[in-house]
Amino acid sequence: MATALTIYFLLATTVHPWYLTTLLALTVMSNFRFTIAWTGLAILTYAAYRTSTYQESLWLVALEYSIVFIWLIIELYVYRQRQRAVNVKLKYT
């Protein structure tokens, strides 16, 4: 369920910070911490409200999503390495 929600939010055109609370609740007890980083970085979306005319800073959005993507890729890589180590260990015991 967390995977489906992550994909949905990554493809969504609008993700308000409070939308991420469901994803955070699903992943808080797992080994994946990208959601915690994402909820912390979601505060950057409020920078669009700093002036009376609503204007989204695409640099901040790119920064936010770049950090989330990099964090997610690193966590997936580490997860796969741990799974391989466990499989090798089980194979030789």
Residue 57's φ and ψ, nearest 5 degrees, are -90, 105
- Whose tokens are 């994402």? That residue is 38
Helix (H) or strand (E) holding 54: none
pLDDT tens readout for residues 14-58: 888 889 999 999 998 898 999 999 999 988 888 878 878 888 888
Summary mean pLDDT of the chain: 89
pTM: 0.82
Check residues 37 and 88 and name the one with the higher pLDDT.
37
How far apart, in whole angstroms, are the C-alpha atoms of residue 83 and residue 63? 30
Check residues 15 and 72 and name the one with the higher pLDDT.
72
Residue 86's pLDDT is: 87
